[in-house]
Chain A
Amino acid sequence: MDRNILFFKTGVSMYDAIVIGSGVSGASVARELSRYKLKIAVLEKGDDVCSGTSKGNSAVVHSGYDARYGTNKAHYNVIGNAMYDNLCHELSVPFVRNGTITYALSEEEVEKLQELTENAKKNKVPGVKLLNRKELEEVGGDFGAEVCGGLWAPTGGVVCPYNLVIAMCENAAENGVEFFLNTEVNHIEKEAIGYSIKTNRGEFISKIVFNCAGTHADEMNNFVSSEKLKIIPRKGNYLILDRKLSGKVKNTIFQAPKKLPGGGHTKGMVMVPTVDGTIILGCDSTDVDDKDDVSTTREGIEAVYQYFSENWKNFPVSREIPEFPKKMIISSYAGLRAHSVTDDFIIGEVKDAEGFFNMAGIESPGLTAAPAIAAELVSEVSKKYIFEINPAFNPLRKIPKQFRDMNDEERIKALERDKNYGKIICRCEEVTKAEILQAINSIIPAKSVNAIKMRTRAGMGRCQGGYCGPEIVSIISEETGIPITEITLSGEDSFIVPYETCIPGEI
């Protein structure tokens, strides 16, 4: 039965636990909660899960040398990193420990790396080493002539962040968690039986609330607590390079960290070989006002472009491709760091709001740390409230192998099962109709073009949906019965083809 209908009939919905937000924080919490026999809901204002920062970041599973010793960031970063192999295995999500290198161009920068090496030791990050030029070459290839050394962190990895978050949400849903999309929390009130959560789609009541609202987590906290939080959205812009370069970059490579004028520091520019074969280049760091505005900025894009034009020669890939390959840029995007003025993750029960748990200020290394934070937080909460174990909990999410990753034998077999594997919809990323249909009919159905893109990569390649866009629109329409003119890019009124052409003679 459609959950939304059920909800509208009963008016108010009662839950044991409600999670606000379905980024990596909310998804991790929801999945952890589904280990217990509880009635759980996730409220997400976007038209799909993972509508916030978790889909626009560097995709790096940080080793933990960078986060300052003694902070929550450092603690959960290292534990989170160690969880990734098993987590991604359970969820059938690609994860690669490709190792992270931070390179230095001057003695001054080497000193900075020396500090990080010591910090890494205190954080108990395995295997971190400061390498001289020659050692660096053995590990990471031939860096440019000006590079004098580098910090090697073998446990650094890469993951596709939205792939991971969608997988976590799907697994949570399979284990009974209900997802309410297009549902924005506007107000929260403490009541006798728990919290009353007011949304654009009615009221929800829950004894326990997890605040995982990303850049909006301060507002959620401030509804219920006198201890006010402040989150500053800090924007970073990225460029994406074509999958044609797949395999040409091995490690994730950072420049030496830079101090920020506004306080704190950023890890600086980074080159990331993604699990999908593209290369991400980013990012700058600029404080902004709008907490949802992920539009790219000219200044930001130019900063990234300029940095990589000038510094391309420092990266080992420049031996094979001497110039920054501008023609390989296929897209750009921006993400918003949820920077807390306290400069650390804010985790745990709010002092003056019993049953309200924060997971706020989750900026970098939040992607890495969130699974660890959620595991610890939910485990504590389960003890406090004496949750009953859900014996049916299944941590495994099985998905069919993607056509793109199959060999010829596997492809022949897949086609025997389902002839839709024979219809390639996205030629750049080799996505078939079978995979599009799986996404539309999955447990958290993908009904917009972007939701399908996030699950299948259709439209993410070099032509950016030029070929597959119209095909996908018509498949969604055929499969769901939604008229073509009402199919959206990403929910609400983001209609792709709002009008029909006129009938001859009409004008």
Chain B
Amino acid sequence: MIMTDVDIAIVGGGCAGMSAALSAYGHGIRNIVIFERNSYLGGVLKQCIHNGFGIHKFREDLTGTQYAAKLIDDIVKTDICIKTDTIVLNITEEKEIVAVSSKEGITGYRAKSIILAMGCRERSRGELMIPGSRPAGVLTAGVAQRYMNIEGYLVGKKVFILGSGDIGLIMARQFVLEGAEVVAIAEVMPYSGGLARNIVQCAEDFGIPIYYNTTVTGIVGKKRVEGVFISDVDENRKPVLSTERFVDCDTLMLSVGLIPENEIAFKAGIKLSEKTGGPIVDDMLQTDIDGIFSCGNCLHVHDLVDFVSIESEVAGKNSAMYILDKIKKDKKPLVIETNDGEGVSGTVPHRIDLNKGEEEVTLMFRPNSKFRSCTATARINDRIISSKKMPVAVPGEMCELKINKNDFGPFEKNDKLTVEIIP
């Protein structure tokens, strides 16, 4: 196979891939290629025709498609090479890439640096182990959304939704706008994981009930969904079967979580985190293989695209620095690992190198339950390095805590930086 040399190869042309590419380009790298398996750039943004995108980054309330268009406009002004309809099959530790497309066949690349920006996939019915039959009409929110907004088809007319996160809520509203009935939304937690504005604008305003502490315990229908069984759950989120009841519907839409897409990273031997499903990265967003970076939903699932852009710009910049050999090498690494403390789950980055990268690091993490007027802190043993007050914190919204490397002070080899939320 003939190998083409490139500086940076980016896997995935969604918000993350494009933002990383633009950032690397801005830092002087010219030979950049983006691989995107769809026939268009933009990733999941392309099927989000609702607003709520770009408020932080562009100070404008855009739709997903508009947000994508802004990035695409910037990309086409550069000479970044875009390979759509091209799927990356494999990457290696040596940063070789095999991609395939109908147009060009199997192609090989050798990159100085790789940025992983593959986005995420949805949790399926299989993973939830919902018992019952396997009829048509059970599908995930992303698939329903794609049929509706890209292909122009409606998956059903009487819809039951499992999961009250933002995606579930937004789809509920869209079903109604398309003339379908949304029977109800079931949420296994005692509260919604979605933004308050979405609960109001997508469910309450349309009279769609949200059943909290409730889950789907069975699917009925031989060929097409005829209904679902739902049950209350106890405090351990186990169904209380004595409460099981039947709900008539022709569709069950699942909106029950996203999982970073890391098949090719896994095959390349990149270490993944059990908690986030994404690669283990340092504060430069570099994986455990030198020169391979990760950002966006394939690093950890984001709620807001603005933060995908910001994070990916960091990855793009560091990839450029890596190639330009500007990553400080004079000093020995001085690494501290981060650690999820009380109330926190999935802290990224997993490692901070005090002698490399930027002075300021943004820690990102999710609360593991709902908190009111609480404090997020990062500490080494009993020493608090950084903290911030938050009026509310919910698992549906990622939190940030900025931390300065100058504030770390001395620490021992096995010390960890513990991130926690204290009520």
Contacts and interface: CB of A to CB of B under 8 A. Distances in A.
Contacts of B89: 424, 430
Contacts of B98: 408
The listed residue with most A CB atoms (<10 A of its CB), out of B129, B143, B146, B219, is B129
B278 to A, nearest CB: 14
Interface in A48-78: none
Interface string B142-182: 11001110011111110000000000000000000111000
20 contacts: A295-B219, A296-B131, A301-B131, A305-B129, A330-B127, A411-B106, A422-B104, A424-B37, A424-B100, A464-B124, A466-B122, A493-B224, A494-B136, A494-B224, A496-B136, A496-B137, A496-B155, A499-B153, A500-B154, A507-B179
Contact of A466 (B121, B179, B241): B121
Contacts of A433: 102
A251 interface: no
A424 B87 contact: yes
Contacts of A244: 266
Given A240-B126, A466-B121, A422 B102 contact: yes
Contacts of A470: 143, 146-147, 151
A415 interface: yes
Given A332-B126, A493-B223, A469 B139 contact: yes
9 closest Cβ pairs, A-B complex: A331-B126, A422-B102, A489-B136, A497-B153, A295-B133, A464-B124, A494-B223, A494-B136, A499-B154
B152 A500 contact: yes
B218 interface: yes
B370 to A, nearest CB: 24
Contacts of A465: 124, 143
A427 interface: yes
Interface in A417-472: 419-424, 427-428, 430, 433, 462-467, 469-470
B202 to A, nearest CB: 17
A494 B151 contact: no
A412 B100 CA distance: 9
Nearest to A420: B102
Contact of A498 (B134, B146, B152, B154): B154
B328 to A, nearest CB: 37
Interface in A473-507: 474, 484-485, 488-502, 506-507
A240 B125 CA distance: 12
Contacts of B121: 462-463, 466-467
B62 to A, nearest CB: 20
A58 B133 CA distance: 19
B175 to A, nearest CB: 10
B207 interface: no
B418 interface: no
B333 to A, nearest CB: 30
Contacts of A498: 154-157
A497 B263 CA distance: 29
Interface string A228-264: 0000000000011000100000000000000000000
Contacts of B134: 294-295, 333
Contact of B105 (A415, A474, A490, A499): A415
B139 A492 contact: no
A224 interface: no
A470 B147 CA distance: 7
B1 interface: yes
Contacts of A492: 223
Contacts of A327: 127
Contacts of A497: 147, 151, 153-155
B151 A474 contact: yes
A298 interface: yes
A490 B37 CA distance: 28
Interface of A: 239-240, 244, 292-298, 300-301, 305, 327, 329-333, 408, 411-412, 415-416, 419-424, 427-428, 430, 433, 462-467, 469-470, 474, 484-485, 488-502, 506-507
The listed residue with most B CB atoms (<10 A of its CB), out of A294, A411, A497, is A497
Contacts of A501: 148, 152-154, 178
Contact of B102 (A295, A419, A499): A419
A264 B218 CA distance: 30
A495 to B, nearest CB: 6
A502 B102 CA distance: 34
Given A411-B100, A470-B151, 11 more contacts: A240-B126, A411-B106, A412-B1, A415-B100, A419-B105, A430-B89, A466-B143, A469-B139, A491-B223, A493-B223, A495-B136
B126 A464 contact: yes
Nearest to B140: A466
B132 A295 contact: yes
A427 B136 contact: no
B85 interface: yes
Contacts of B152: 500-501
Contacts of A300: 131
Interface in B182-224: 217-219, 222-224
The listed residue with most A CB atoms (<10 A of its CB), out of B98, B133, B134, B154, is B134
B170 to A, nearest CB: 15
Contacts of A491: 223
Contacts of A500: 152-154
Given A298-B217, A305-B129, A330 B124 contact: yes
Given A305-B129, A466-B140, A466-B142, A427 B105 contact: no
Interface string B60-89: 000000000000000000000000010101
B101 interface: yes
A205 B406 CA distance: 89
A421 B148 CA distance: 28
Nearest to B1: A408
A411 B89 CA distance: 12
B176 to A, nearest CB: 10
Contacts of B329: none
A175 B422 CA distance: 73
Contacts of B85: 423
The listed residue with most B CB atoms (<10 A of its CB), out of A420, A462, A506, A507, is A462
A194 B129 CA distance: 48
The listed residue with most A CB atoms (<10 A of its CB), out of B103, B137, B143, B266, is B143
Given A298-B131, A463-B124, A499 B157 contact: yes
Given A464-B124, A496-B136, A502-B179, A427 B102 contact: no
A298 B218 contact: yes
B423 interface: no
Nearest to B102: A422
B52 interface: no
A428 B263 contact: yes
Given A427-B87, A466-B122, A466-B143, A422 B178 contact: no
Contacts of A466: 121-122, 124, 140, 142-143
Given A240-B126, A490-B136, A495-B224, A422 B151 contact: no
B341 interface: no
Contact of B122 (A428, A463, A474, A489): A463
A295 B153 contact: no
A38 B124 CA distance: 47
Contacts of B143: 465-466, 469-470
A329 B151 contact: no
Contacts of A485: 153
Nearest to A497: B153
A497 B145 CA distance: 12
Contacts of B223: 488-494
A427 B263 contact: yes
Contacts of B177: 507
A423 B102 contact: yes
Contacts of A296: 131-132
Given A332-B129, A430-B89, A466-B124, A412 B136 contact: no
